[in-house]
Every structure is written in C-alpha cells, then in structure tokens.
Structure 1
Amino acid sequence: MSTAARVEHVGPQHRHALTDLAAEAFGLSREEVVAGFGAPGTKVWLVWPGEGGDEAPAGYCRMVVNREAKSRDRACIDALFVRPEARKAGYARHLLEAALADARENGLGGIWAYLPVSLPGRFVYLSGGRKVHDLRFLKHESLLELGEPRLPAGYGIRAAALPGDARYLAELFNGIFENMWNFMPHTVETITAWYDAPDTRPENSFILEFLNGESGSPEGAGMAILAVDPNRLAAGDKAVYIPDIGVMPAHRRRGLGRLLIQASAQRARDCGAEALELIVSGDNEDVRAFYQSLGFGEVGIVSVYEWLCEN
C-alpha cells in the first residue's frame, strides 16, 4: 500500500532531520553525515507523510551520480532508509520514484542500488526492479600486521601517472576483471573519468610490472586502486576503500595479491588511515578465503539491485 507523501531534495534547512535519520539508520555522527552527504555528485531526498507539516521525515534516499557511473548509464543509490514504524506505507517507493525521475531527466538508463540490507522481494518486484548480486564487505583494522611488501625477483611496483598510464591502466583492468559479475571494458576516456573523483588520485594507485628481460620493456602484472576520502578521514572514519585490486592471469599464484595488499596498507597508513575495506563477490569463496587469510574480517553483505528508467 502506498500513502500520500511529500518528497523533497535535501537543503540546508533539512540538515538536522537528515542527521537524525542517518544516525538511526547507520549510527553515523553529525560530522560523518555532513561529510558524506555533501560530496560532489551526491543527491539526497527526504520523504514526509502526507503534506509534510511539522512531522519528522519518514525516510531518506541518497544517490551518487559521477562520471564513472554515467559511463555505465547508471546512477547509484547507496542509502535507502525508512523508519520501521512507517515501512508499510510505501514511502520507499516514493523515494525510489524521485531518484528514477532524476536519473531519467539526466539521460541515464537506470539505477543500481548498493544496500547493506536485503529488500523485500515483493517490494522489488512491484517497483519494477530486480536483485542483481550479493557482495561481501570485508575490513582489515590492523594494517601493521600485514607487513612490508617484498617484491619477487623480476617485478617492480610504482604509482600510476596520468595521462601517460591511462591506456596501460585500461588494458590492465580489462585483462584482470573480464570475468567480474559487472564487468564493463575500460577505455582511456573512462579511466580518465575514474580519476575525476576527489577520492581517487593516481598517486594512490599502484601498477605492478614484470620486468621482461626478453623484450626489454615492462609487462603489466597487476594493479590496485585506493579511494582515499579526505572528508571521511577528517570526520574520524580512518578507513580507505579499495575499489579495484587484482593480478593478471599469467602472474597469479606468485604471492602478488598479498604484495598489492601490503603496498595498499602502507599507502593507507601514509594517508593517516588505520583500516582497509573492500568487497568481493558473494559467490567467490576462493577470493574471500584469500582475504580472510590476510586478516580481513567480514563485516556485512551488500545487496545490489537494479531499476530501469523505462519501468
């Protein structure tokens, strides 16, 4: 059942209401809310019962629209919350419709939602969506225990540099992740857009190379990308996220994945972070076991949903 509701974009006048909702949903502090919801490309909606009046809002939705998401013809919802006592009134549907309308107005084909909860199947079906995948959220909070990276003979590691490495990074990404559940080939243009985000910088990205003596030129062996969010660190959340890390098939089973994690931990500490976070596919037990062997613990499941604007 869906009842009358009023949905509005969040403005300065809504900050206290949003802070209360975010604290209830995720236990966030005021500083974390301000840092997270003021990021570039972020849009947030609040929903009120009926005409709104003086009542507290019943829920909120946060959507991120950046250049990388646009390259996939999608916007990304990473928060959709309705207070428990209001969940049977259809307010989540109102928030979703507002987000879809915004995506449609911006010429996007749909929305992906990455949520730390599993949505009711009936809601997903009736709203025209579908569940796409489950991801495991892993975290390591003792970075010193990972040790220092030690390169095997014949390998080197360095920070990426743009624009010179854009094509190289695209080739590495495509070779490493071609079997990933949501794989989309990267190009020079999409790699460049990748680094437009304020939390993704070339100096926080590593290229692992095999120094091929026969050809005299290095061969790409692996890569690691760190998302270092200065607002998040300033708010006291001392974690760095790794959106992409991997080794080329021809160079696997040589301890290079561990080396990339160690190099990432070292760089994270240099940035003032105390923890590393990453996600793995829910059906890839081997990869999850590898990270757990390094000391990563599972802290949650992220469910991925999709809605198309045509629906």
Structure 2
Amino acid sequence: MVIWEKADPESVSRELALRNLDAFYNRVTEGKDMMTLQDMELDREEGQSFGAERFLLRLEGEDVGIFDYLYRTGEKPWIGLLFIAPAHRSKGLARLVLASYFSQFREGGHTVCRLAVVEGNEPAHRFWQSLGFNAVAKTVSSTGNAVDVYERMIEDDFISSLNGGPNR
C-alpha cells in the first residue's frame, strides 16, 4: 500500500535524495545531473506559489516518489509532478498512485486533467500517451523549458483500468 505523506519544509532533503536518483530527469528538466538543496527549496516554493499540494510517496517505510497537483478555480486541474524512483518504476506504482488521485479527483466533480511534459523526456511522453493523454498544446514552463501540455478525460472505467482492469 502506498502511503501519501504531506510534504513540508522538513522533507525537502528527502525529496532531494529521490530526485538525485535520476540524473537523466534532472538533466532534462533542470539542465544538470544533480540538484542541490537550494534547487529543491526553490522548486517547492514555485509549486506553492501556484497552489500545488505536494506529497512524498512511501512504500513499506521507504520514500519511493513525489506527487504534486494543483487546482485553480475556473481552470482544469493539473498534475504538477509524478516522480517515481528508478528502482520502483515499471512495477505499476505510478498507476496505483494515479488511480488513488483520480478517484479523489472524480469525487470532487472533476472530469479533465492536464499535465506538462518537458521536451526531451521521452519516457514520460510515452508513459502519459500510453494512458490515453493527448498533447493539446506546446508552451514554455515558468523555468523556461519547452513543454507539451497533455490532457485527458478521466472516466470511471479509466480509473478502473489503472487498478488492473482493461484500459480504455
């Protein structure tokens, strides 16, 4: 069972340890292999300025990922970050996290979700496309990265597929 632990300023060093497990991701998103504590603090502050809620994902007492999302009145909800530690990828963990999130999402009356993927992060593009997210726009992030904006309708059968049912 994945435990969602609300991130706080004291957990930033744990977030840093997770992020620095993936030099490729850091290089594509930040332009360097290793993040610093200051980088992570700035990343958290930026997310908070947009109203993002951030969580550390824990499995069997171990930090295995980071997830953040944001809702803005009058706008479609966004996933800001889904990061799973490399050793825990391709095991269905991201799908379980998304099933949990989208169940709450739907209970809140939401039907469409958006997210952005940095150009060059091909594994992320393939992942979101495999889940039926479609690129709807290109833009530049607040950090200056070119990104593709993805969007998907979130139906109950899609949530079921994330939990092991057929994907539609």
Classify the TM-score, shorter chain.
0.5 to 0.7
CA spacing shift, 1:192–1:244, aligned 2, 3 Å? closer
Which AA in structure 1 matches 2:62? E
Q: How far is 1:186 from its partner?
A: 5.1
| 2:30 corresponds to | 182
Q: Find 2:71's aligned residue among 222, 228, 236.
A: 228
Which AA in structure 2 matches 1:206? F
Equivalent residue pairs, number: 137
CA spacing shift, 1:189–1:302, aligned 2, 3 Å? closer
SS in 1 for 2:101: helix
Which AA in structure 1 matches 2:71? V
SS in 2 for 1:178: helix
Q: Could you say which structure has the larger radius of gyration? A: 1
| 2:156 corresponds to | none
Output the TM-score relative to the length of structure 1.
Answer: 0.38
CA spacing shift, 1:275–1:256, aligned 2, 3 Å? same
| 1:276 corresponds to | 113
CA spacing shift, 1:197–1:172, aligned 2, 3 Å? same
CA spacing shift, 1:266–1:206, aligned 2, 3 Å? farther
Q: How far is 1:160 from its partner?
A: 1.4
Q: Quick check: 1:209 aligned with 2:52?
A: no
Deviations 1:27-56 (Å, cap 9, x if unpaired)? xxxxxxxxxxxxxxxxxxxxxxxxxxxxxx
CA contact (8 A) 1:227 1:240 kept: yes
Deviations 1:51-85 (Å, cap 9, x if unpaired)? xxxxxxxxxxxxxxxxxxxxxxxxxxxxxxxxxxx
Which AA in structure 1 matches 2:88? H
Deviations 1:161-217 (Å, cap 9, x if unpaired)? 42442322232233343232435625264355245425223xxx3322231xxxxxx
| 1:267 corresponds to | 104
CA contact (8 A) 1:157 1:206 kept: no
Structure-to-structure mapping, 1:33-182, within 5 angstroms:
151=1, 156-176=2-22, 177-182=25-30
SS in 2 for 1:260: helix
Query: 2: CA distance between counterparts of 1:271 and 1:159?
Result: 20
Root mean square deviation, CA, Å: 2.9
CA contact (8 A) 1:224 1:264 kept: no
Query: 1: CA distance between counterparts of 2:36 and 2:79?
Result: 18
Q: Find 1:219's aligned residue among 46, 49, 62.
A: 62
Output the TM-score relative to the length of structure 2.
Answer: 0.64
CA spacing shift, 1:287–1:182, aligned 2, 3 Å? same
Query: Gapped runs of 5+ residues in structure 1?
Result: 1-150, 212-217, 307-311
Query: 2: CA distance between counterparts of 1:240 and 1:200?
Result: 10
Which AA in structure 2 matches 1:247? I
